[in-house]
A and B are shown apart, each in its own frame.
Chain A
Amino acid sequence: MPAGVTQDALRAVDVRKTYHTRGAPAVDALRGVSLSLRKGERISLLGRNGAGKTTFLRIASTLLVPTSGTVEVFDLDAVHHPEQVRPLIAVVPQEGKPFFHLTPREQIYAYLRARGIDREAAKARTEQALDQMDIQEGADRLCITLSGGPKQRAMVATVIATEAPLLFLDEPTIGMDPFARRGVWDSLRRLTQKGSTILLTTHYLDEAEALSERLYVVEAGQVLVEGTAEAIKKQVGGTLKVSIANGTALIEELATFGEIVADGGTVNVVTAPERINEIMALTVSKGLAATVGPVTLEEAFLRIVGRSIDAE
């Protein structure tokens, strides 16, 4: 690798964004976000509504000017020279919709042609994208006649068909059924196998886990945690969760095994595998029932973000 050339598809350093609205206090949407995506990676941004995910994604995709910080896409300055970056990227906007008076086939083809892709390649990629998104059946119906899921699939298909080196997808599977979501996942995996890099935001934590090689948890405009789903789950103090029904009377004792979360009458203990036998012995001795399962990413997310909120 020549000196100065990195393997990063996206590198963002200390990106800040403050919104100033007349008559209202300034809002810090991003407070120093730094992250990087290596070429061919699939990365998810997780966070609550308003955490700053979309703001970051829009800055990285040249649609929003940051207040400060640097963003480089394939070593090109996305902040000062967005026109150099744009041929290398494609974006599924949050809550974006296709042209209602085009069919999905027309929408995809027209967009590819607008990006300068020649007729033959555009036709081939359009058919491929329609197949991948499983919308061949409605491909020649006007988008206005399609329900929400197929409309969203048409949007995702439009962007996937570009095979752009770096794809930004803001909640790409919102409104899709589980089959369609898995279709999108497969398409995104195929794209990264071909060399594309993907940054997506999602509220579906199963999607983030199934699809992403690494995750960034964002809260209040800052990255709280970064790592693989497994690493993030470990950050909550264990990999297993023991749920004890009607176990509120045991909270003090159970707290010695790990972090406690009460959920109604059920007490959940996040702990390490080697402590399971002790907890089970305790609960059985008290005549209570307990179930053991893996800590989910959702639990880890809730815990990490919850701690941050408590700290603030």
Chain B
Amino acid sequence: MAIAVRWTGMKTFVATETRVQLHEWLAIATGSLVQAALLVFVWVLNKDLLAPALIGALIYSVFLIGQRVLNEAAYIRIDHKLNELYHASPMTPESYFLGMSIGILIAYLPPIVILTLLLEIVRPLDLATLAALAATLLAVWASSSTLGYVISTLFKDMKTIWPYSSLLTNLFGIVPPVFYGIHFIDPALRSIVLVVPTSSAVALVEGVAGMESLTSGEYVLAGVSLAVEAVVLLSFGLYWARRTAREA
């Protein structure tokens, strides 16, 4: 898929979106409540599971960026019509999509940084684990932002979108082994779990950190599927942004 990505206006739109999001600091704070509550439960019930749960909370927090992108893209398109202001301008649709996704990521970094610091305190990570964590977080962000943006373009009413937002979060963030270890999953189902972006990311990081035991085949499956999904979805997101800049 040949996509000539042009970046006109992206830097400014990243700054714009970050500024807009930071005004909603309460949403940023409350966006970490689920993770915080689950971490408290784990801490109370079994402190040994705190480190894996923190990795899960990190991946989950980044996955939630997709939900924010979904809500923001839908809101400023349906309620504000600002997409028209930007699409009928030299700023490219690709810059609009990526600028929004990066801007939201930046605004939601503080809780992610706090979770990373907590993880460092609970279980200091070596360089390999940190690198795996950074790479998987980036891949999860790419996949979830694209999913959020694409879904946001499919509906004409905010109320219709809300259930999909919730479905997306639970389907990818709660059901698969994100907050719990992959060793709880039946061996026959592990390969399915390892192609889901969130659980493959968690499995990879926990595997590299020595918290989970993965076979080399499982490492390959998780790594390749996560990378392929990120690249394919992001490419599709850029294509879709361009295509939906004009209504058919």
Contacts and interface: CB of A to CB of B under 8 A. Distances in A.
Most buried by A among B86, B88, B90: B88
Given A99-B80, A102-B16, A102-B20, A115 B85 contact: no
Nearest to B96: A114
Nearest to A113: B12
Interface in A53-74: 58, 61-65
B246 A114 contact: no
Contacts of B24: 101
A86 B88 contact: yes
Nearest to B87: A63
B163 to A, nearest CB: 21
B171 to A, nearest CB: 27
A297 interface: no
A15 interface: no
B82 A99 contact: yes
Interface residues of B, number: 30
Contact of B81 (A61, A95, A101, A106): A95
Contacts of B95: 114
25 contacts: A87-B89, A87-B90, A89-B89, A91-B85, A95-B81, A96-B85, A99-B20, A101-B19, A101-B24, A102-B16, A102-B19, A110-B13, A110-B15, A110-B16, A110-B19, A111-B85, A111-B89, A114-B13, A114-B95, A115-B9, A115-B89, A142-B23, A155-B85, A159-B85, A168-B88
Interface in B209-248: 245-248
Contacts of B81: 93-97
Interface in B114-147: none
B247 A65 contact: yes
Interface string B69-84: 0000000100111101
Given A99-B76, A110-B15, A115-B9, A63 B88 contact: yes
B248 to A, nearest CB: 5
Contacts of B90: 86-87, 115-116
Interface string B1-43: 0000000110011011001110110000000000000000000
B168 interface: no
Interface of A: 58, 61-65, 82-83, 86-87, 89-102, 106, 110-111, 113-116, 142, 155, 158-159, 162, 168
Given A65-B246, A99-B16, A116 B9 contact: yes
A62 B95 CA distance: 17
A184 to B, nearest CB: 17
Contacts of A94: 81
Nearest to B9: A114
A86 B87 CA distance: 8
B86 A62 contact: no
B91 interface: yes
B77 to A, nearest CB: 10
Contacts of B84: 58, 61, 63, 91, 93, 96
Nearest to A114: B9
A81 to B, nearest CB: 12
Contacts of B85: 90-93, 96, 111, 155, 158-159
A190 B248 CA distance: 35
A91 B84 CA distance: 7
Contacts of A110: 12-13, 15-16, 19
